[in-house]
Each structure stands twice: as C-alpha cells, then as structure tokens.
Chains A and B, each alone.
Chain A
C-alpha cells in the first residue's frame, strides 16, 4: 500500500463511521446554528455526483477512497480518456476499462484565486490552482494545489494526488506539493 493509499484508507474508515453515525442519529429538525451546511443545494454543488443512482462513474470514487487514482481507457483503440467516460469519443464503443493513473506529476501552469469565489468556496481563499503534467502520461490535469503559498509556487514543482473528503462524506481529489 502506498503512502497515499494509507492516508486515504484512514480517511475512508473515518467516513464510514461518520456515515454510520449519521444514519442512526434522530432526524434533525433545524440546521446547526453555526458552520457551513454539509451539502449545498443540489444545483449549487460544483462537485461530481458519486452515487450509483445518478452516475455510471461511481467506480472512480470508490477507487479514490481506496487510494487509487483511475480513469477509463478504450478497450478497442487503447485511448486514455479524461475525465472518465462511458463511451469512447474516438470509436464510440462502450467497451471501456478502468485503469490506474500516475499519482504524481509536475506543475505546468498555476494561478491563485484571490477574489471571486463561487458558493461554498468564499471562505477558502486564496486558493492555489494549476495544471499538472502527470508523470509518464500524456495527461495534463487541472486541480487545486495544496501545501503551498501562491507566492512561493513555481512551474515544475512535483505534486502528488491526494484524495480529499467533502463535508458530506463524498471523496474528491487535489494535488499536494511534495516537499
């Protein structure tokens, strides 16, 4: 198990406990007096849907919880597809397979959001973001860059994929600068 996988396994255990607790708790009649809501209204929530009742890409998030960063690849033409999909845009087959992506890369370009954040991110500025060239892969992925001040950030710095837990227990990912 990689270091990344260990961290995420701990987080996943915590989430499972948290969700179990939530499912047995008495129904709440009013929102908590302080703190952000666990989940924004559905149509203000920027993050991907993960539930298998709403998407066919649930395996991506399940793998992420286990510390594996994956995407889909076409079984016919071998094309690596990002974001994960259900039909290949080259040959239009639905015969795709899940494959591991590299979990490290280097910063190709970056900036920081100092103002103008959407709902749910207003209290979380500045937010450093960038495009990351994944090691040994043609993919250049956009994501949040953790563990660095924007004034110290540089093109070429190495980063690692880090699963993150959203307030409602869903799993997403960011990139953490490797020191």
Chain B
C-alpha cells in the first residue's frame, strides 16, 4: 500500500461565470478547453480517473448519468474511476475530495475533477423548485423554505444575539464584489457596488437584500490532481492537499441545534487543521462559502478567525481584506463570482492554485501565500466541507 502518497492540484481552468447562452454540455466542453489551456503539458490519455461535481443536472438540464457525458464532452477516456459527485452547493469540492482520496489510496495517479452547473433556464420558477428540493422537501420546502429565507433567519438571530448590523453584512458584500471586479471570469466582473448602493438594493428575504445573496449562475471548471511522482510533469507551483475535514449533522431544520453556532464547521475545520498540522492563524487566505453575507461572518467565528459573535465587526474593520490578518475570498466569493453549484468548489481550487503561482490580478493577489483553506457549506449549512492547501515549489 502507498498510503502516504501526497496529492497536489497542479492546475485548472474555468469558463466565464454568469448568465450564459450555453447548454450544460456546452459548458462541460468549455471546461475542457479551459483545463487543457491552463495545463499545456496535459495529454488526455494520461487521465486515468474522472470525478464530476454536478448538483442538479436532472432538474436544470433534464440529464442524468453525467459522468460519461462529461468524459465525451471533454475528450477523456477514464479507465480507473469515473463517477459523479453530488453534495448540492459542495458538489465541486466533493469531486476534488474523491479524486484526492483515490490518488492517496493508490487507485489513481492522474485525475480530473470537474464542476458543471446550468442554472439560468427560461422557467425561473422551475429553477427555484430545483433549489427548494435541496432542503427537506416535503417537511420544510413545502412550507416555502428555500435558501434565502433560511439564511435570513440565521441573520435575524445573529443580529438579535450579537448585535450584527446590515452595514456589517454590506461590508462583506462590498469586499467580495470589489475582488470580483478584478476577476474576469466573475459574474459581477466590473460591476461596482459601494456600501450605500448595497443597502439600497431591494429586499429578497428580510433582513437580506439582493446584495446579500449569491446568484443563479451558469459555469463550469476543471482541475488536475496528481500523485507526488507526477507533479513535476505539470507545474513548478503545486498546491499540496495537506488536510481535510467534513461534517454532516442534520437535514430537517427541527434537528439543527443552533442557527448561529455552526458546530459542524468547527468540527470539520478542526479535523482539517489537525491533519495539516497548522491552526487558523497560519492561513494566508481562505476561500469561504459566502452564499450569503451572513454565512461568511459566522464562518469566521466557527473556524476561529475571531471570537463568537464578533464576525460582523471583524469584517467591517477590514481584518479579512488585503492587508488584514487573513484575506477571505480574494477570488470574489460566491457573492461576486456567482454560484454555479457544482462549479464553485472547482473555482475555489483554481483560485488557490493561481494565488500560489502569483497568476491573479495584482489588486487581489495575496502577498506571498503559503497556506490556504477552502470551505463549502451545503444546503442549510447542515454539511461543511473543508480542505487545506500548502504551496509547493
């Protein structure tokens, strides 16, 4: 057994994120174009395994069995493992985790993890139905539960319990949109939002406004993961996977212990830190799951960047901005880049790879980063998935 094999992300690429005039399958083809462009040394025949992160192709594109579809669209012929990964909003990271596990176990040497989601369809109500059935469909969603009212209740309780304000929420949105303004693949590339403008946007689910919510987004991406012996074939700046953790603890809202204390994330990140041998203060940046502004604030607290209840102040004081203690979401986050469910986790890993290689736009480059965390929540924050990367080279 080669149980101590190290695994690295050695490159990856993304499609343009946004409202795209492209089908699900066409986005998968674009992900292939982006991957082979960003890793020039990659030959399709070298890829032994394929993991496809896709949350709801059955709903948004009326298509199942998407792993072989992606193989065909990208021109891959995996001969060891081929599978689809579904974990709602965390499907992309789930694909990466499975590729990581397979390589670490010696079952794969060169694997591609792909994320594809097509969410902007002509029937908005059907798209909303797709999002509703991520939750406990008959017992919660039937009453009207979707993500916005859920995270609105989280925000309401955080405001009540800790004094968090709408202005502090807007500070998160302003920061992430500002980074997205410099990221050409972002849905909100070059679309400016200052805090005053954000606070005037319409309410979606009070107290959350349009600028507090990530968007329905079409997009795709792919990353290449390889075993340690193959890293030098592809890059001089590998992103080594050093730690991971994941936790699931409820599904129906009645079984959620606290709206504002995300203990599942505390557990998942502790496990990831333990396996990486570092702590929160060692991180240079983090790609956190800001599906809503309130999510990012609670994630600071649950991971341990700041004390319980102080997430709002931590953001408003600029502690997670460039020049602060830890840069959070220099990519532009889900708020600024959009949130094509299966592709989001892939995009976060591409960001880690490009930050380590100093390949991102200067205004959002983290100074000399060595350690990065990627986090996704899924559903009603009932699952948390965390990975920790270290720059090699």
From 138 to 154 in chain A, residues with beta carbon under 8 angstroms from any chain B beta carbon are 139-144, 150
Chain B residue with Cβ nearest A44: B129
From 104 to 163 in chain A, residues with beta carbon under 8 angstroms from any chain B beta carbon are 109-119, 121-122, 127, 129-131, 139-144, 150, 155
The count of A-to-B residue pairs whose CB atoms sit within 8 angstroms is: 106
Is B316 positioned at the interface, with any CB of A under 8 Å from its CB? no
B204 contacts A114, CB within 8 Å? yes
Give B123-142 as 1s and 0s: 1 = Cβ < 8 Å from A's Cβ atoms. Answer: 11110110111001111111
Once A48-B138, A83-B136 are accepted as A-B contacts, the answer to whether A119 and B143 lie under 8 Å apart by CB is no
A141: chain B residues within 8 A (beta carbon): 253-254
B131: chain A residues within 8 A (beta carbon): 118
* Cβ-defined partner of A142 (8 Å) among B140, B152, B204: B140
Is B245 positioned at the interface, with any CB of A under 8 Å from its CB? no
A47 contacts B138, CB within 8 Å? yes
Number of interface residues of A (CB under 8 A): 34
A140 contacts B253, CB within 8 Å? yes
Once A49-B138, A111-B153, A140-B253 are accepted as A-B contacts, the answer to whether A119 and B125 lie under 8 Å apart by CB is yes
A129 contacts B139, CB within 8 Å? no
Tell me, in angstroms, the Cα distance from A113 to B146 when the chains sit together: 9
A113 contacts B138, CB within 8 Å? no
* Cβ-defined partner of B142 (8 Å) among A46, A119, A140: A46
Ordered by A's residue number, 13 sampled pairs between the chains whose C-beta atoms are within 8 Å are A44-B126, A46-B129, A46-B133, A83-B139, A111-B207, A113-B148, A114-B203, A118-B125, A118-B128, A122-B125, A129-B149, A143-B143, A144-B143
B128 contacts A142, CB within 8 Å? no
The contact size tier of chain B is 35 or more
Tell me, in angstroms, the Cα distance from A139 to B202 when the chains sit together: 33
Is A5 positioned at the interface, with any CB of B under 8 Å from its CB? no
Give B88-106 as 1s and 0s: 1 = Cβ < 8 Å from A's Cβ atoms. Answer: 0000000000000000000
B207: chain A residues within 8 A (beta carbon): 111
A139: chain B residues within 8 A (beta carbon): 254
Once A48-B138, A142-B145 are accepted as A-B contacts, the answer to whether A131 and B253 lie under 8 Å apart by CB is yes
Which of B136, B143, B259 has the most CB atoms of chain A within a 10 A radius of its CB? B143
Once A129-B149, A131-B153 are accepted as A-B contacts, the answer to whether A46 and B253 lie under 8 Å apart by CB is no
A111 contacts B129, CB within 8 Å? no
B4: chain A residues within 8 A (beta carbon): none
Closest 6 CB pairs of A and B: A111-B152, A48-B138, A109-B153, A118-B129, A83-B139, A118-B128
B133: chain A residues within 8 A (beta carbon): 46
Is A98 positioned at the interface, with any CB of B under 8 Å from its CB? no
* Cβ-defined partner of B254 (8 Å) among A49, A116, A142: A142
Chain A residue with Cβ nearest B154: A109
Give A19-30 as 1s and 0s: 1 = Cβ < 8 Å from B's Cβ atoms. Answer: 000000000000
B148 contacts A172, CB within 8 Å? no
A130 contacts B138, CB within 8 Å? no
* Cβ-defined partner of A48 (8 Å) among B128, B139, B149, B259: B139
B64: chain A residues within 8 A (beta carbon): none
Which of A44, A130, A155 has the most CB atoms of chain B within a 10 A radius of its CB? A44
Which of A117, A129, A143, A174 has the most CB atoms of chain B within a 10 A radius of its CB? A129
Chain B residue with Cβ nearest A50: B138
Is B21 positioned at the interface, with any CB of A under 8 Å from its CB? no
Give chain B nearest CB distance to A63 CB in angstroms. Answer: 15
Is B358 positioned at the interface, with any CB of A under 8 Å from its CB? no
B142 contacts A47, CB within 8 Å? yes
A82 contacts B142, CB within 8 Å? no
B204: chain A residues within 8 A (beta carbon): 114-116
Tell me, in angstroms, the Cα distance from A127 to B136 when the chains sit together: 18
* Cβ-defined partner of B206 (8 Å) among A82, A112, A117, A122: A112
From 28 to 59 in chain A, residues with beta carbon under 8 angstroms from any chain B beta carbon are 44, 46-49
Give chain A nearest CB distance to B215 CB in angstroms. Answer: 11
B136: chain A residues within 8 A (beta carbon): 83
Chain A residue with Cβ nearest B137: A46
Tell me, in angstroms, the Cα distance from A114 to B201 when the chains sit together: 13
A115: chain B residues within 8 A (beta carbon): 202, 204
Chain A residue with Cβ nearest B260: A109
A129: chain B residues within 8 A (beta carbon): 143-145, 149
Tell me, in angstroms, the Cα distance from A130 to B157 when the chains sit together: 12
